[in-house]
Chains A and B, each alone.
Chain A
């Protein structure tokens, strides 16, 4: 689906990347621990998180994450917004909690960016 569909499904507000809503996304990863994201998330996925600091943008940039969905109505700081604009990473914010956000996207066909974890300490 397109990022614009994600926006609609989650009744989300676009904070960065209004001109990027045609972006195609198929997979997602949800976490509040950036090291968890770094261990498992795949390039081109949506990142669903409740964290809003600049490290979320750095993490997304390192992994080539397609877009960031902030949950629980979280609003990023001005530094976070500036960095996301600089690195061209879209940010959307939804009022839904992470469980509901994941549930709604999953129901509409977005799948996890990995199906199973082979071991707890990450993949290679």
Chain B
């Protein structure tokens, strides 16, 4: 499933790298501890977090995540936006909490496969 389809289905607010939404999402990872995400997430995953610091872009880029979703209406900082644009990592914002957004994406991904 492409990022674009998830954005449409969940009404996400795309903050940056809007031209990179045709990437394939292979799975999801929900977490707020950067070392855990570094250690355990996989390439192509969409990362769901409430961290907004620019370090999230470095993690997503290194792990080749398809995109980042910020939860609880958390807004990325200016540095985060700038870095994400440069690294071509789409960042989307949702007003849902992690549990709900993870559940919805899980359903979308399992329905598709």
Contact = CB atoms under 8 A, between A and B. Distances in A.
A36 B32 CA distance: 10
B95 interface: yes
A113 B96 CA distance: 11
B19 interface: no
Given A32-B32, A112-B99, 20 more contacts: A29-B98, A30-B30, A30-B102, A40-B97, A97-B29, A97-B40, A98-B30, A98-B102, A99-B28, A102-B98, A103-B28, A103-B102, A107-B103, A111-B100, A113-B99, A115-B96, A117-B96, A120-B72, A120-B73, A120-B75
Contact of B31 (A32, A111, A118, A119): A32
Interface in A1-59: 28-33, 36, 40, 48, 50-51
Contacts of A104: 106
Most buried by B among A72, A98, A104, A116: A98
Interface of B: 27-33, 36, 40, 48, 50, 71-75, 95-100, 102-107, 110
Given A102-B103, A103-B103, A116 B30 contact: no
Main secondary structure, interface of B, reads: mixed
Contact of A98 (B31, B72, B105, B107): B31
B103 A29 contact: no
Given A29-B97, A36-B50, A102-B99, A120 B74 contact: yes
Interface of A: 28-33, 36, 40, 48, 50-51, 72, 97-100, 102-107, 111-120
